Structure 1
């Protein structure tokens, strides 16, 4: 089993940083300035991925398509969510413990924030929720639980999802609005896995026989580490809730481009079999913003 360290590293001064040379493939904006949906990328919950940090390429892709991207610096309240079309939460934590992921793990959000987000989505909001390997799933467990999702909080090997291996499930996010938006292959670079509620649609469905390693601490893997069967579980699923929409993904590096400074290796959008991940991200955003 290959456990990727692409999504995260053990301290914020790690050699894994946003790819400074990244340029989006996308050259045609879906939205004009007048029609531009407002996307807020949460940075109020000690997020490991931010718009000027490891998710800068993520932000670049969204801007290339005409989205208005804002950095979220405040707690989630109905007032702070007013005027937001899509909220993105990527690898939140309950405190600034970037140098110590050994626990204990607590919710990154207050119960009031969870209740506010559930109501906001039900009334028409759109939420993209990304939680990578342990400890990130535990930090958003109350939020995903409010929508019926259950994460492993472990480590999952890299997976290539394609139409050929039947792991990339049919959905408008896969087909897009036109032939040039069709996606036939998506690669995740480790991360976690989750059970989706019955009314959700799993797009990235793990193969039969897949397992997750569930250590007590991140990366503390040995021959005695607990294994959990996750065949048929998901790394990416979508759900309609009332008038709103939720997209949940269990891997973060798939939606950005990072460089490992000691070697110069590029990880993410430029990884082998991940060449269509950028279009997949755009399709996910189109679905959330109502363009798909």
Structure 2
């Protein structure tokens, strides 16, 4: 069995667990020295106005719990992205948006979840000093975020990024260069992600997670892989990066579950920051938020 065919078979077996996720609302991260006193930190707004798969009141409740433990104030953005709405927060988080045509229909085409006016507003807001954390998972989410990311110079591939070693989740280490040695990864030795997307980065961006020895599969419909499913080698692709942009900052990630805490399948298996192997993911999240907040150079 060749690598390409076995990857397709492996991903097909992964579908049931991925489709039965519920939030682990009991998850909390232990933070010895919070960045802010409780409820006094910068406002972090998580988008909920674009059919987002991860929102503060559901799959990203654990994301919010981690940041609230660090003193941040969490809010939801339920409407269009406008200059007025963006100015209510310090950091805007977008996780897995979708165009309305793809809700319940994870097949091509995957139009942008944001219209031209929203993209211009977000871009101008970041350039003027705002901070954006953009997270787009495997197809169709990477397709829905493509145009927004492209306005900053990042190029999402609407794909499933699959480790050629066919592991249940992906590990990134300093030792093999897949986890960058930079300010963002200080205090983090291992990061775990769970079948995300991939993107190219522009000049001036700092990589965080590099995809070494991956195959990027591009199906017509999410989780439906055939022998003729198009593939791309992962050389030059990443799953995490940060970049200054004008007076602001942007962080781009290609996998969303790594910053969640969920329970998957009938046995309620931990999936996300609540997995023992992913215990350092919450520190990476905090490091990214601190950088976006201007608390790190």
Matched, 1:26 2:27: no
CA 1:159/1:150 → structure 2, altered by over 3 Å: closer, same or farther?
A: same
Asked if the contact 2:96/2:135 (under 8 Å) is kept, the reply is yes
Cα offset, 1:27, TM superposition = 4.8
1:58-82 alpha-carbon deviations (Å, 9 max, x no partner): 1100111000000111211111111
Secondary structure in 2 aligned to 1:30?
coil
Between 1:80-89 and 1:241-250, the stretch displaced more is 80-89
Matched, 1:70 2:84: no
CA 1:96/1:58 → structure 2, altered by over 3 Å: closer, same or farther?
A: farther
Structure 1 match to 2:199: 194
Cα offset, 1:272, TM superposition = 4.7
Is there any run of 5+ residues in structure 2 with no aligned partner, and where? 1-6, 163-168
Structure 1 match to 2:4: none
Higher-helix-fraction structure: 2
CA 1:290/1:222 → structure 2, altered by over 3 Å: closer, same or farther?
A: same
Asked if the contact 2:18/2:264 (under 8 Å) is kept, the reply is no
Cα offset, 1:32, TM superposition = 2.3
2:244 to 230, 240, 246: 240
Structure 2 match to 1:231: 235
Matched, 1:111 2:122: no
Asked if the contact 1:187/1:274 (under 8 Å) is kept, the reply is yes
2:65 to 60, 73, 93: 60
1:1-292 correspondence runs (5 A)? 1=7, 2-3=10-11, 9=19, 15-32=20-37, 35-95=40-100, 97-157=102-162, 158-175=169-186, 182-207=187-212, 209-292=213-296
Cα offset, 1:21, TM superposition = 2.6
Asked if the contact 2:39/2:73 (under 8 Å) is kept, the reply is no
Structure 2 CA distance for aligned equivalents of residues 45 and 272 of structure 1: 32
Secondary structure in 2 aligned to 1:285?
helix
1:262-292 alpha-carbon deviations (Å, 9 max, x no partner): 1111111133531100111000100000111
Secondary structure in 2 aligned to 1:140?
helix
Cα offset, 1:174, TM superposition = 0.8
Is there any run of 5+ residues in structure 1 with no aligned partner, and where? 10-14, 176-181
TM-score, normalisation: structure 2: 0.89
Between 1:238-247 and 1:164-173, the stretch displaced more is 164-173
1:113-132 alpha-carbon deviations (Å, 9 max, x no partner): 00011110001000000000
Q: CA RMSD in A?
A: 1.8
Asked if the contact 2:67/2:286 (under 8 Å) is kept, the reply is yes
Asked if the contact 1:211/1:231 (under 8 Å) is kept, the reply is no
Cα offset, 1:163, TM superposition = 1.4
CA 1:66/1:92 → structure 2, altered by over 3 Å: closer, same or farther?
A: same
Structure 2 CA distance for aligned equivalents of residues 27 and 63 of structure 1: 13
